[in-house]
Structure 1
Amino acid sequence: MPKTKWLLNTLVLICFMDLFIQLPVMGPLALSLGAGPFQIGLAVGMYSLTNMIGNMLAGIWIDRFGGKRVLLVGLFATAGILLLYTLVSQPGELLTVRVLHGLSGGLLVPSAFTMVSRVASDRDQGRSMALSGAAVGVAAILGPAFAGIMKASAGLDWLFIAASALLLSGGGVVLLGRIREDVGRSREQDASSSRAKHVFIATLRNPSAAMAYYGAFALMFAMGALTYSLPLKAEALDLPDQAAGLMLSVFGVVAISLFVLPSNRWFDRVPPLRLCAVGGGIVIVSLFALSLTGLQMGMYVVMAVYGLGFALLFPSLNALLVSYVRPEHKGKAFGMFYAFFSLGVVAGSSGLSAFTGDYDLTLRIASGFLLATCCGVGLWGIRRARRESKAMNPSTG
């Protein structure tokens, strides 16, 4: 089992490398093809938009065919599509490839995390998700750095070829790693798909599952606002060119440290909802504090604190979702979960950037929006839990 977990976390790393490698190069690639500002924004955002569709399709197929098969299809399809980037010669062709890339890439992450949740025991779901979160953090640090080095030394074509080879190696890990997956379905469940759909919808009405979906959106909304605002702020303050990247690396290092150190036991000992509340509060305060500071050292400190909030949120949201979703519906649950991730990125970056070009105002709006919606969702969950408690125990009302 430990070997299987390491293989699965390696796959999580590879899946997220596909995302983080492309982030710093897609805008410059669109610009080099003669794209205007609108087309550049469309090229960057199109991946996330179609990725949501891929996430939803992945969820349905995972529960039907198993995460291993869907992951294999996603890895090999995405590896082939990455090679198409080397052939594009105009903005329209780039947009077509971005659509295909988003769809195939949407199969990767839900499949990998569903497999992680299925090999973990009920007692260590939180710690298992924390270790997977560490793999995500490593990808967030290595991906942009690898893209920058390859672009400078070998060119964009070889970057996409290397990324394709990386995904093909991931397919080899799946095929040769002898990873067993307990899909958790029976013939009776397959035969009654309509009943299964109703059961899944009923599961989503659970306040904790709904909060997990909102948390996924909120976490990536904050990340989208941050990745949009931080480079602009660093440039306006005349900080070194690498400052924004180093600040993001600080956040990643702090998050990874909490994921891999003995502190990862928190995720199995402390209720996920409590960790989500604390982590969400830290993220909200960090965004607002970042908008107030103009000192380089202060920005580094704030990003370290933000890393703490992210580290508390990411595995707790995954564990919260897994705790309230039946095994045979985990694929659909994770598909929706990462669709909300993609939606949050689009809303936090493209949405806020369309509203204002002021980086500090963007951070404050993001902080205020998250504070208001977190409070609203929290109150909704408390009231719903009380109503359900009274319905189950009428004598206590």
Structure 2
Amino acid sequence: MKIHPLRFLRIIGVLDGLSLITLLFISMPLKYFADLPLFVTVNGSIHGGIFMLYVVAIAIVQLRIQWSVSWSLLSVFVAFIPFGNFVLDMKLKKMEKTMRVKPFPTHWLVYAIIFFSFFDLFVQLPIMSTYALSVGASTFIAGIVVGMYSFMNTFGNIFSGVFTDKIGAFRILVFGLITSSLSLLCYQLVDSPEILLVVRCIHGFSSGFITPAAFTLLANIRRAEEQGSGSAITGAFVGIAAIIGPASSGILASKISVPNVLSFVAVYGIILLIGLLLLLRKFSLPKRVKKQVKEKLQWNIGIMKAYGGAFFLMFSQGVLAYLLPIHIQDLGYSSRMSGTLLSVFGIVAVLIFILPTNRIFDFINAQVTLLVGVVLLAFAQIGIGLAEEIIWLYGMLALYGVGFAFLFPSINAVLIEATTEKTRGKAYGYFYAFFSIGVVAGSAILGMLDLIGTPGFIFTGAILLSFSLFVFITLVTTKVSLLKVRT
């Protein structure tokens, strides 16, 4: 007899609640009043293990019951409150009788693959430059090592787009996961800067195949009326990867070697590859589809806005990564503060992506939300440059998070509206090539112009406002043209 997912969650939730109460009211008093710290060590380890199992149980319920994401967030929240699990259990007991188990939603596996692609990217950020130096690279070569991934990623994105339309997203994802996982394992072979550069080239190129194919597959399997909110959910996985990736790699790299950290990421990729082969084979294109008449990608104003939005979004990100730590240091705060501020922007964006607020992207024209997103990013950049108080900085980074949350799903939705299934792969290939170029351009252009501090942020804000003006003019022009046609 199969156990109901909610019943499993209830059992693990009660165990988690009991372990928390034992830790707080028995083990901790024994540590501080009886000088017996061993109880906290043992109880804390047990509680940590149960909590991890509890999170897995929540994920299973989310996938099989497919309840509102807010219930999953509430389930995690109550786990930090003494007796909270028991109160939730009473509610779940009533819900268990009415909630039906649903088939596994295969699109969540694609979300996991997208998370892997960006997690792979963000894991590298805090460790790659120091790793390059540790194998004998000069500071100049270390910079090339860091940038080589994004540079080769651009070519991988383009090739992925072209071949996704020819042989299907499924086959490209299989190829991307295999080669990317193998390239991550190849860091174990690095013993010189030359070999590291070769591995970085292979890693960047192979990883570039994953994202366009995954986004194309998602766009093709989602219903038209859910493209906006679906893109927001996708953005949530990107945001979570941006929050978890740097932190986890920094912690792990302090305990194990960098190649071993990247090998753990490779294992995750191999697990996803197995899941892809088991659950998504139905999306493998039959041979007869290849014989259909080819359709060329038609460049139009929608595609131009999507590509421009992708470029300027990542241009803005590149500027933020380059200027914010310097700006924080100039204001007299510790370097740790820049990491905290970036986390604020990520958390705000993820909350907008996963909460019911994501439905706004299904009801409002994607080009309008794109315009709102660019304008908010522009004002946030200017505000950061003018900020001198930490509270103001937090507010501006929160505003930046709102702008990011509006822009990311919007450019995806605009691209989907401007393309067909037969050309969407190539369109996404170029789309993510603009992403990769934007990251490099943001820091590189400001570096060449020697713009740091307030002038750099204001310059970036002005660039973003210029693009928003282009979006606004084309939006108004399109509306006027439609009114003339109707009259």
Same fold at TM > 0.5: yes
**Contact map agreement 2:176 2:209 (CA 8 A) in 1:** yes
Q: Which structure would you say has the larger RCO, counting Cα contacts within 8 Å and 6 or more residues apart?
A: 1
Match of 1:352 in 2: 446
126-135 or 164-173, which deviates more: 164-173
Q: 1:109 to 1:240 in 2, by over 3 A?
A: same
Match of 1:342 in 2: 436
**Contact map agreement 1:184 1:328 (CA 8 A) in 2:** no
Q: 1:251 to 1:266 in 2, by over 3 A?
A: same
Report the Cα distance in structure 2 between the residues aligned to 1:180 and 1:368, rounded to whole angstroms: 47
**Contact map agreement 1:229 1:360 (CA 8 A) in 2:** no
Q: Tell me the amino acid that sits aligned with residue 29 of structure 1.
A: Y
Deviations 1:10-32 (A, max 9, x none): 12111111111111111112222
Q: 1:313 to 1:183 in 2, by over 3 A?
A: farther
Deviations 1:114-150 (A, max 9, x none): 1111110011111111111111111111111111011
Aligned to 1:72, which of 135, 149, 174? Answer: 174
Report the Cα distance in structure 2 between the residues aligned to 1:158 and 1:37, rounded to whole angstroms: 23
Match of 1:44 in 2: 146
Aligned to 1:122, which of 215, 219, 224? Answer: 224
Match of 1:273 in 2: 367
Q: Tell me the amino acid that sits aligned with residue 147 of structure 1.
A: S
Match of 2:311 in 1: 217
Q: Tell me the amino acid that sits aligned with residue 192 of structure 1.
A: V
- Which aligned pairs between 1:3-152 and structure 2 lie closer than 5 A? 3-152=105-254
Q: 1:96 to 1:351 in 2, by over 3 A?
A: farther
**Contact map agreement 1:183 1:327 (CA 8 A) in 2:** no
CA RMSD between the two structures: 2.3
Q: Tell me the amino acid that sits aligned with residue 421 of structure 2.
A: P
Q: 1:359 to 1:43 in 2, by over 3 A?
A: farther
Report the Cα distance in structure 2 between the residues aligned to 1:192 and 1:75, rounded to whole angstroms: 29
Q: Tell me the amino acid that sits aligned with residue 320 of structure 2.
A: L
Report the Cα distance in structure 1 between the residues aligned to 2:384 and 2:130, rounded to whole angstroms: 27
Q: 1:268 to 1:90 in 2, by over 3 A?
A: same
**Contact map agreement 2:151 2:204 (CA 8 A) in 1:** yes
Match of 2:260 in 1: 158
Unaligned runs of 5+ in 1: none
Deviations 1:343-390 (A, max 9, x none): 110101233223326233322221112222332354356557767987
TM norm structure 2: 0.74
Deviations 1:233-291 (A, max 9, x none): 22333423422111111111111111111111100000001101111100000001101
Corresponding position: 1:376 with 2:441: no
Unaligned runs of 5+ in 2: 1-102
**Contact map agreement 2:168 2:285 (CA 8 A) in 1:** yes
Corresponding position: 1:294 with 2:395: no
**Contact map agreement 2:161 2:429 (CA 8 A) in 1:** yes
How many residues end up aligned between the 2 structures? 385
Q: Residue 103 of structure 1: CA displacement?
A: 0.7
351-360 or 3-12, which deviates more: 351-360
Aligned to 1:227, which of 314, 321, 325? Answer: 321
Q: Residue 333 of structure 1: CA displacement?
A: 1.0
290-299 or 253-262, which deviates more: 290-299
- Report sequence identity in percent: 36
Match of 2:14 in 1: none
Report the Cα distance in structure 2 between the residues aligned to 1:2 and 1:343, rounded to whole angstroms: 36
Report the Cα distance in structure 2 between the residues aligned to 1:361 and 1:98, rounded to whole angstroms: 34
Corresponding position: 1:181 with 2:181: no
Rg (Cα) greater in structure: 2
Report the Cα distance in structure 1 between the residues aligned to 2:286 and 2:331, rounded to whole angstroms: 54
Q: Tell me the amino acid that sits aligned with residue 300 of structure 1.
A: Y
Match of 2:293 in 1: 192
Match of 1:262 in 2: 356
Report the Cα distance in structure 2 between the residues aligned to 1:165 and 1:177, rounded to whole angstroms: 18
Q: Residue 186 of structure 1: CA displacement?
A: 6.4
259-268 or 154-163, which deviates more: 154-163
TM norm structure 1: 0.90
Q: 1:239 to 1:43 in 2, by over 3 A?
A: same
